Structures are given as C-alpha cells and as structure tokens.
Amino acid sequence: MNVELITIGDELLIGQVVNTNSAWIGVELNKAGFNISRMLTVGDDENDILQALEEATKRASIVLITGGLGPTRDDITKKTLCKFFDTQLVFNETVYNDVVEMLSKRIGYINQLNKDQALVPENCDVIRNPLGTAPIMWFNHAGGAVVSLPGVPAEMQNAMSNSIIPRLIERFQTETIIHKTIHLFNIPESVLAEKLTEMGR
C-alpha cells in the first residue's frame, strides 16, 4: 500500500525549521506495513499545494499532509483542500468547544482567528486534536484517503499514533514490515558488497 507525504511550510524550505515530521512518519508507517513511495515539501502557496495533491492522489492510495493548519494568514491548507475537493468551510461546534477549552486556560479569551480554527471542509471526517487547536481532517477519495495533520510534531505524532495509523491499518489491512540493521566495522563497502553477492548465489 503506497503512501505519499506532503509537508507544507515556507519555514521548512528556508531551513528555519528542521523537517523531523517526515523521518518520524516514515519510521512509524513502515512499522505498520505501509510503503512510503515519495516525500515532498512545498511552501505556503496554493498552486504548489494543489499541484502536489493532484500528482500524489494519482500515484498513491494514501496521501498524508502536515502543516499549514494554524490560525495565521499564511496557513492556507484548509482553504486549499476545499478547492481541491470542491467543497466549502463549515463551522464545527466540537472543534470550537475544544479550542475554547484549550485557549481559555492559556490566554483567557478567544479572538476571531481562534474561532476560525473551527472552520473545516464540509466533506471531511474531523478527528479531534487533544494537544492543539488545529483539527485533523480525513478525506475519502477514489478508494483511498487524504489526511491533513498539524505540523507541530507533538500534535502530529499523537494523532498518527492514536488515530490515523490504527484507522489506516483497519481500512487497508497491511502486513508488518520488519527491518534489521547490522553494524559492520573495518570492511570497505565495495568488499562487503562483493561478499554479499557471493552469499546470495
């Protein structure tokens, strides 16, 4: 079962933030039996995101997206997903209540940008995010799935471990892939390759 990963954010492209999400997702999905065939990082640009989605959904059954779900103007992932799936943003009361509960303890009030976090694409399944204000969004498409996750590592990892990976396993019924690492010393790579070739005969 092929998976493609799209990480979104100008901060990733300029090196301001190290893209640890890709490595973590790669390890965890591989353990769960999913093959990641491609990883792509794009900036906060609607056309680039749309193109990445168009190409990824043609090649892979599962497309995971991280980033671009914050409350600021450069966070355009939700609006871009609406355009891609030909839908609109609607108010989700459950998400709003989660936002209020989380932020009222920290800052004591909710502004319009915070309220807008409760706007989600109408045709997605919303998965609650217990560690942040950005909801996780699951879209079904052509026998596969597109899942949009927060870019904050702790939020993404929690969602993947507790919600997304179990749901992917249940729906797509994969087998576990086991890798074993062997550390060797004092042998050139070319010599090792030659010996392994001989062993495989």
pLDDT by residue (tens digit) across 72-97?
888 999 999 999 999 999 999 999 99
Indicate the residue type of 117.
Answer: Q
Cβ-contact 134, 72 below 8 angstroms: no
| Cβ neighbours of 188 (radius 10 Å) | 8
Indicate the residue type of 139.
Answer: F
Cβ-contact 69, 77 below 8 angstroms: yes
- Please state the pTM of the whole predicted model: 0.86
Confidence of residue 176 (pLDDT cuts 50, 70, 90): low
Q: Which residues pair with 8 in a beta bridge?
A: 42
What DSSP string runs through 185-196?
Answer: -S--HHHHHHHH
Instruction: Show the domains of the chain with their CATH numbers.
Output: 2-199 (3.40.980.10)
Tell me, what's the pLDDT at 200?
67
CA distances from 161 to 37, 139, 157 (A): 20, 18, 6
Tell me, what's the pLDDT at 201?
62
pLDDT by residue (tens digit) across 117-138?
999 999 999 999 999 999 999 9
CA distances from 80 to 44, 47, 86 (A): 10, 9, 10
